[in-house]
């Protein structure tokens, strides 16, 4: 964002941009420092990509493990629901923890806990056995800290972006692109692993990715949290709730003393509720995520298993989606600051879900399904960079962890239900009708931002003096 921050004033910098790029701090900057900042930003993006790759492997392994046990479509949907439900809990609660304990520490701990829970799945399956109820429990635990870890990395992004002299639209696009890249690589790896060695053994790869992500964050990403991110004036406070800052992580100190954990959560929730654009975004993405969960987590694996020959075809489709979304993301990064956000958002969102769902509903052959999926991927590449930039622009820095966590939880609230409904729909009305319903509803709801109203707030904000005030707390 272009407002001047206390950190910039302390370094004797201004927030003017040169040629559309953030101005670099003028004092004490060397070539080595700039290279270090770029390495830190690249490492954050890489850690995010590696962690997300593990999640893709899990998304492949779990449904095929359930099917291997003789499970039904409803049970596949139930497993997918248990994988996504933790986001609704971990989003808001974890967002407050991220703001309190420090973003870097939160990201590392989240990866380590998720990795340990995922590792337990193949270990149990290969020793004493992994019944369905135990799989559900481990899937739930594995996803509980996934959202806080992603939130922590996203909150660290603006400070690292500013230091590296990169446009915020570009860096948000890079982070989203890393997720798309993870789908491309992870889907290819997962499809081959599940087909070659089975779903259980492939989970060892997932556990390893979380360990690598945690190590990369710990080694190359500097501490950035309240009170000490990249040269911001640190405030030493008494530790609260037993969360004392580590001596070797001065930038990961907790925020100045607050009244309570509950008040932190209420403060973030009040901001989200009072911001009209945030409310609209959460409602829209909640609906589309519900449809995406029904389609991607349940209907698509069942369709691939029933009509396309299994995990290899599913891997091809998911990799196509991820690869084309990555290409769309990279291409959009070069024009993001020039195009109207709202119209671009609507056009891309509609293309991201409608055509591909319709192709499955019509029973198109695999080459047509791949082409429709590629179109959806290219369009989807623009969505998260737009949404991420808008959220960063509208949210005060000290609230980002809890606000992003709450927005994520709200947007993901429909995913568990969507995954379960997808399985029930497959068992009752059939795959063809289910995909048709998804196509119609998806297209309808993604056109709503064209109605105007508060959706107009999505457009690029002007200089600080021309910007509408953020909602009061």
Question: Under the phi-then-psi rule, with left for phi > 0, alpha for psi from -120 to 50, and beta for the rest, what region is 234?
Answer: beta
pLDDT value at residue 362: 92
| Highest averaged pLDDT of the listed ranges 68-82, 191-205, 382-396 | 382-396
- Mean confidence (pLDDT) of the chain: 76
Rounded to a whole number of angstroms, the distance between the first and last alpha carbons of the chain is: 20
When comparing pLDDT for 358 and 265, which is higher?
A: 358
Count Cβ neighbours within 10 Å for each residue of 427-462 and write b for 16 or more, e otherwise. Answer: beeebeebbbebbebbbebbeebeeeeebebbeebe
pTM: 0.60
Residue 85 has pLDDT above 80, yes or no: no
What are the DSSP E strand ranges found in 96-253?
none
Confidence of residue 224 (pLDDT cuts 50, 70, 90): low
pLDDT value at residue 442: 94
Contact 420, 80 (CB under 8 A): yes
Confidence of residue 360 (pLDDT cuts 50, 70, 90): very high
Residue 15 has pLDDT above 50, yes or no: no
Confidence of residue 350 (pLDDT cuts 50, 70, 90): very high
Q: Which domains does the chain have, with CATH numbers?
A: 31-219+262-462 (1.20.1250.20)
3-state secondary structure of 243: strand
Percent of the chain with pLDDT over 90: 12
Count of Cβ atoms closer than 10 Å to residue 12 Cβ: 10
When comparing pLDDT for 369 and 74, which is higher?
A: 369
Confidence of residue 468 (pLDDT cuts 50, 70, 90): very low
DSSP character string of 316-359: HHHHHHHHHHHHHHHHHHHHTTTS-HHHHHHHHHHHHHHHHHHH
pLDDT value at residue 80: 76
Average pLDDT of the segment spanning 165-179: 75
pLDDT value at residue 349: 92
pLDDT value at residue 251: 43
Residue 370 has pLDDT above 90, yes or no: yes
Average pLDDT of the segment spanning 54-69: 79
Average pLDDT of the segment spanning 52-77: 78
When comparing pLDDT for 470 and 103, which is higher?
A: 103
pLDDT value at residue 179: 75
- The residues facing 259 across adjacent strands are none
Average pLDDT of the segment spanning 243-252: 40
pLDDT value at residue 461: 59
Contact 234, 217 (CB under 8 A): no
pLDDT value at residue 371: 94
pLDDT value at residue 248: 42
Per-residue pLDDT tens over the stretch 268-294: 888 888 898 989 998 999 999 899 988
Instruction: Find, among 356, 300, 295, 298, the residue nearest to 324 by Cα.
Output: 356
Contact 210, 112 (CB under 8 A): yes
Per-residue pLDDT tens over the stretch 416-464: 888 888 888 988 999 999 999 999 999 999 999 998 888 988 886 554 3
């Amino acid at each position: 964002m272009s407002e001047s921050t206390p950190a910039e004033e302390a370094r004797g910098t201004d927030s003017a941009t040169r040629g559309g790029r953030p101005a670099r701090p003028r004092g004490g900057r060397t070539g080595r420092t700039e290279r270090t900042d770029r390495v830190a930003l690249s490492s954050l993006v890489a850690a995010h990509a590696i962690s997300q790759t593990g999640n893709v492997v899990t998304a492949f392994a779990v449904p095929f493990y359930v099917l291997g046990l003789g499970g039904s479509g409803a049970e596949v949907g139930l497993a997918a629901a248990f994988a996504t439900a933790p986001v609704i809990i971990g989003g808001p609660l974890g967002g407050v923890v991220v703001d309190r304990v420090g973003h870097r520490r939160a990201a590392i701990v989240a990866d380590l806990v998720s990795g340990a829970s995922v590792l337990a799945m193949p270990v149990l399956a290969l020793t004493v056995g992994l019944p369905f109820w135990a799989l559900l429990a481990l899937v739930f635990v594995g996803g509980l800290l996934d959202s806080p870890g992603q939130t922590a990395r996203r909150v660290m992004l603006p400070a690292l972006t500013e230091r590296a002299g990169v446009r915020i639209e570009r860096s948000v696009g890079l982070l989203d692109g890393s997720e798309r890249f993870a789908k491309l690589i992870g889907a290819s790896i997962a499809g081959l692993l599940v087909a070659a060695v089975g779903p259980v053994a492939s989970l060892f790869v997932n556990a390893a990715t979380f360990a690598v992500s945690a190590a990369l964050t710990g080694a190359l990403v500097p501490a950035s949290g309240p009170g000490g991110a990249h040269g911001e004036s640190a405030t030493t406070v008494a530790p609260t709730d037993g969360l004392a800052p580590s001596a070797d992580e001065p930038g990961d100190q907790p925020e100045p003393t607050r009244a309570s954990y509950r008040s932190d959560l209420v403060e973030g929730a009040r901001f989200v509720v009072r911001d009209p654009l945030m409310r609209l975004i959460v409602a829209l993405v909640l609906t589309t995520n519900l449809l995406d969960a029904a389609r991607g987590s349940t209907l698509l694996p069942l369709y691939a298993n029933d009509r396309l020959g299994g995990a290899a075809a599913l891997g091809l489709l998911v990799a196509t989606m991820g690869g084309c979304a990555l290409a769309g993301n990279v291409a959009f990064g070069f024009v993001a600051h020039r195009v109207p956000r709202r119209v671009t958002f609507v056009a891309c969102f509609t293309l991201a879900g409608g055509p591909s769902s319709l192709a499955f509903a019509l029973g198109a052959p695999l080459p047509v399904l791949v082409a429709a999926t590629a179109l959806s991927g290219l369009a989807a590449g623009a969505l998260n960079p737009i949404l991420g930039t808008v959220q960063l622009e509208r949210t005060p820095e000290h609230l980002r962890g809890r606000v992003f966590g709450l927005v994520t939880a709200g947007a993901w609230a429909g995913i568990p239900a969507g995954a379960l409904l997808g399985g029930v729909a497959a068992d009752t009305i059939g795959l063809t009708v289910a995909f048709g319903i998804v196509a119609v509803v998806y297209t309808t709801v993604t056109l709503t931002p064209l109605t105007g109203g508060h959706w107009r707030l999505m457009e690029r904000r002007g200089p600080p003096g021309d910007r509408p005030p953020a909602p009061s707390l």
